[in-house]
Structure 1
Amino acid sequence: MRKRLFQILGFLVSTLGWVFVSCTMAMDYWRVSQIGGQGGSFIIKVAWYWSNLWKDCFIDSTAVVNCRDYSVLWSVTPYIQGVRGLLMIGLGLGFVGAILAFVGMECTYIGGSEKIKDKILFAGAVFHFIGGVSDISGYCLYINRIARTAFNPNLDPTSLRYDIGTPLFLGLVGAFLILVGAVFYVVTVFRVIFPETKVVYTYSSRSCATPRNRSKSLYTGYYRSSRQSRMSRQSRKSMESSLSKSSDLSKISQITAEEISDRDAFV
């Protein structure tokens, strides 16, 4: 029951993480920059510049939006291409991992025997983990680009300094949930796939012996041999003494019988 509960929890958490990552691909305001906004009693004039993976946009105080879409694939900035590729690779691996996890869960009745289902679930967890790492790499690459521009002291004053937008935070949370779901999967099947190896210690009969077999141990062989010989000699002496006593008694009985018979004859 606990195994099934952890697997369902891992599936829900990882699926929620992939939903977050998928939403960030289409969201705006990956990076945001603001100009103006110093208010007073007059009309506030402010402009926002923001970008995502597909376009650059400008919004003024009248809420008019002007955007420039990235025209062709090979004319986009290289780091944008890298972020796109990492996120798409992560989504593809996550899709395969979700299918494998669904087949390998204990609460589903497809996939074969229990051991085969555990192996399938472990493979799904590996796909989730690699996909989550790929997504984190993409977000970190984009954040690094923003940070390098924002904290560059030699930047031209007329250039824009962007801030990190909401989709990046949401994507990092989603990637973290994906990794947590993969950990839940692995916890439920790790002991089944990789069982503990039992170490068996063997002892020779001479080094360790039970009380019933003490005669075969080094202890008895060294310390009790003289004692046993003494006991055997004592038993032999006792047997010899008993035999001598019995012979003496037989002699006495014979003598007394002869004396009595002679006396009776004399009488």
Structure 2
Amino acid sequence: MVMALEITGFLLGTASWLVTGTALANDYWKVSSFFGSVIISNRQYENLWHSCAEDSSGIAECRDFESLLALPRFMLACRALMIISLLLGLFSMVISILGLKCIKIGSVREDTKSKIAVTGGILFILASLCSMTAISWYAARVVQDFNNPLYGGIKFELGAGLYMGWAGTGLSIIGGSLLCCSCNQWSKGQSKGAYYPPSQAQKIHKPVSELETARAYV
């Protein structure tokens, strides 16, 4: 049971890291809306790195954001949070591998491996919080500009990249939680066995030793 939880949590965490990386590279974080627009032959879309325009023939031209200082502060924060999330996810996978009970590395004790697996699970959850903050913040700004009647620029809607990011966040939370729960399951399994402290063990065996001594004198 414990091994199944660990393997499932590790696989979900690995899948979340891949999905989050794919979401970061996806071009469609926000897509221009046709709501209230007369021209529907052109479409624009953006992500954290560049802005693209696509005509009716399907030909797209992209332009990278050239100046970091010219970008809004929230976009810089979203970039940093997404990169931190991927780095934490990478560390989580490495640590989780070391903590899996199905992998034997040296003479590491079982309780130590459980603690290592829990550490990997906590890092998965921290990575998910970073990516969730970035994606939700970006989505909130898109919705705010869309609903602002005084906004004079192009109005955008939520793109597929944001939904992929939310999916990766959910997988990371579930995977990290399973890795943390595996330690509790292992502790419960250990508590089922009988354990006697050294003092109690001596008291239990003491009458037997006295009886054997009396028989020896007889």
Superposed CA RMSD in Å reads 2.5
Alignment partners' CA distance in 2, 1:114 and 1:191: 13
Of the three residues 134, 137, 141, the one matched with 2:137 is: 141
Alignment partners' CA distance in 2, 1:13 and 1:73: 34
Of the three residues 42, 45, 69, the one matched with 2:64 is: 69
The answer for the alignment partner of 1:174 in structure 2 is 168
Alignment partners' CA distance in 2, 1:127 and 1:114: 20
| SS, match of residue 57 in structure 1 | strand
Change (3 A) 1:191 1:68: same
Alignment partners' CA distance in 2, 1:102 and 1:124: 9
| SS, match of residue 53 in structure 2 | strand
- 1:183-222 correspondence to structure 2 within 5 Å: 183-190=177-184
TM-score, normalised relative to structure 1: 0.65
Q: Kindly indicate whether the alpha-carbon contact (under 8 Å) linking 1:24 and 1:167 is maintained by their aligned counterparts in 2.
A: yes
Unaligned runs of 5+ in 1: 198-267
Q: Kindly indicate whether the alpha-carbon contact (under 8 Å) linking 1:83 and 1:142 is maintained by their aligned counterparts in 2.
A: yes
The answer for the alignment partner of 1:89 in structure 2 is 84
Q: Kindly indicate whether the alpha-carbon contact (under 8 Å) linking 1:30 and 1:168 is maintained by their aligned counterparts in 2.
A: yes
Q: Kindly indicate whether the alpha-carbon contact (under 8 Å) linking 1:4 and 1:107 is maintained by their aligned counterparts in 2.
A: yes
Q: Kindly indicate whether the alpha-carbon contact (under 8 Å) linking 1:103 and 1:120 is maintained by their aligned counterparts in 2.
A: yes
Aligned length: 190
Change (3 A) 1:35 1:99: same
The answer for the alignment partner of 1:240 in structure 2 is none
- State the 1:6 CA deviation: 1.0
Q: Kindly indicate whether the alpha-carbon contact (under 8 Å) linking 1:34 and 1:47 is maintained by their aligned counterparts in 2.
A: no
Amino acid at match of 2:132: I
| SS, match of residue 73 in structure 1 | coil
| SS, match of residue 32 in structure 2 | strand
Identity of paired residues, percent?
Answer: 26
Q: Kindly indicate whether the alpha-carbon contact (under 8 Å) linking 1:35 and 1:46 is maintained by their aligned counterparts in 2.
A: no
Structure with the greater alpha carbon radius of gyration: 1
- State the 1:153 CA deviation: 2.6
Alignment partners' CA distance in 1, 2:40 and 2:128: 42
Of the three residues 157, 166, 180, the one matched with 1:163 is: 157
With CA pairs under 8 Å and 6+ residues apart, which has the higher RCO, 1 or 2?
A: 2
TM-score, normalised relative to structure 2: 0.79
Q: Kindly indicate whether the alpha-carbon contact (under 8 Å) linking 1:36 and 1:46 is maintained by their aligned counterparts in 2.
A: no
- 1:90-105 correspondence to structure 2 within 5 Å: 90-105=85-100
Alignment partners' CA distance in 2, 1:8 and 1:125: 12
Q: Kindly indicate whether the alpha-carbon contact (under 8 Å) linking 2:31 and 2:158 is maintained by their aligned counterparts in 1.
A: yes
- State the 1:8 CA deviation: 0.7
